[in-house]
Amino acid sequence: MEAATNKKAFENLLNDLTPREWIKFQKSWFVHNPPPRDRNKLIHPAAFPETLAAEFIRFFTKPGQWVLDPMLGTGSTLIACHMTGRNGIGIELIPKWAEIAKQRLVEYGAMVGTSDNGQISLAIEPPTQQIVLVADARDIDKIDMPPIDYVLTSPPYWDMLRRKGFETQRKRRELGLDVYYSDDPRDLGNISDYEQFLNELVEIYRKTAEKMRSGAYITIIVKNVKKGTTMYPLAWELALRLREFLELRDEKIWCQDNQKLAPYGLGRTWVSNTMHHYCLILRKP
C-alpha cells in the first residue's frame, strides 16, 4: 500500500497525450494513406497530408505553442496547426502556393496573420494564428519571429519533379496540373547539381535551427531518390550533415500501401517500388 501511495504521477512535459497515446506514437513505422486531396491542394505536385502533420504536431508540442514550416507549399502544416490549436508560421518562396495556402486556411476558418517587409504582425485573438510569409527560406535569419517550439517540414526531393516520363506526370498534365514547383531559379527543386542542392538545404536548416528554442524538435519528411540506376541517399546524407548542429534522435518510416506497383527493371535488374518516406527526428541541444 505504501509503495502505491508513493508512486509518482505521470508528468508529461512535451505534449498533452496520454501514456497510451505516447507509446502508440513511438512505433518506428506507420501506414498512412491520406484522404483525397481538395482541388487547391491537388494543384501542388508534392503536398503532404494534414492528417499526418497533425499527429506529429500533437506529439511534439502543447496547445498554443509555435510551429514553423520553412517550405510551406499549400499550407498543410498550418492547417494541421489550426486543427490542433497551435500557432503556425509558414515560409513559401512561390507567391502562387502562398496564396493557395492562405485561401485554404480561410476555408478552414483559421485566422491568417500578415507580414510587413518580412516582419510578422501578430493578432491577439483568436487563441491561435497561422502566418504565411512569402520569402526565401535562405533568408529565414532575417525574419523576426517568436522562439519556435517545433519545426515540421518536407523539402523538395532534389529535382526529381523535373524528370520526364513518370506516369504521375503524364496524368497531371492531362488534368492541367503543375508537375513541378516553379521556374524560379531560387527554387531548390530546380537545382540540378546534387551536392549544391544538399549544401543549400543544410544551410537553410542551420538557419532554421537558430530560430528554435533549446530542446525543440524538428521533423523532416524526406526520401532517398533514384535516377536511372543510381541511388542518391538524400535522407541518409541529410541526417548525417544535420548532426553538425542538431542531435539526430530517431526516424519514423511513413509507409504507403495504396499505390500501384510498376514493373521497373522487370526481367533485367533490381529496382524497387519505393513507397516509404523517412521522417527524420532531430533536436536542438
Reported as a single tens digit per residue, the pLDDT across 77-89 is 999 999 999 999 9
Locate all alpha helices (DSSP H) within the chain, ordered by sequence: 2-5, 19-25, 39-43, 50-60, 76-84, 95-107, 167-174, 194-210, 234-242
Whether 255 shows a pLDDT value over 80: the answer reads yes
- The average pLDDT across 262-277 equals 90
Grid cell in block for residue 234: 538524400
pLDDT on residue 243: 98
The CATH number assigned to the domain with range 29-259+269-283 reads 3.40.50.150
For the chain, the distance separating the N- and C-terminal CA atoms, rounded to the nearest angstrom, is 40
Mean pLDDT, all residues of the chain:
85
Strands 247-255 and 276-283 come out as antiparallel
**What is the pLDDT confidence band of residue 123, given thresholds at 50, 70 and 90?**
very low
Lowest mean pLDDT among 30-39, 95-104, 131-140: 30-39
Per-position b or e across 209-246, b if 16+ CB within 10 A of its CB: bebbeeebbbbbbbbbbeeeeeebebbebbbebbeeeb
What contacts 140, CB < 8 A, 6 or more positions away?
A: 70, 91, 204, 207, 208, 211
Tally of CA atoms within 13 A in the half-sphere of 283 that contains its CB: 10
Residue pointed to by grid coordinates 547539381: 193
3-state SS assignment for residue 90: strand
pLDDT on residue 201: 97
* pLDDT tens by residue, 124-175: 345 689 999 999 999 999 999 999 999 999 998 887 755 665 545 555 444 4
pLDDT on residue 163: 65
pLDDT on residue 115: 53
Grid cell in block for residue 260: 500501384
pLDDT on residue 122: 42
Contact 88, 63 (CB under 8 A): no
* pLDDT tens by residue, 45-86: 456 789 999 999 999 999 999 999 999 999 999 999 999 999
pLDDT on residue 82: 94
pLDDT on residue 80: 95
More confident residue, 260 or 110: 260
Q: What is the pTM of this model?
A: 0.85
Contact 213, 151 (CB under 8 A): no
DSSP letter string, 231-243: EE-HHHHHHHHHT
Beta bridge partners of 153: 220
* pLDDT tens by residue, 156-168: 888 775 566 554 5
- The average pLDDT across 212-225 equals 97
Query: Radius of gyration (Cα) for the chain, nearest Å?
Result: 20
Residue 265's CB: how many other CB atoms inside 10 A? 11
pLDDT on residue 127: 67
CA angle 33, 58, 64 (to 5 degrees): 140
**What is the pLDDT confidence band of residue 258, given thresholds at 50, 70 and 90?**
confident
What contacts 26, CB < 8 A, 6 or more positions away?
A: none
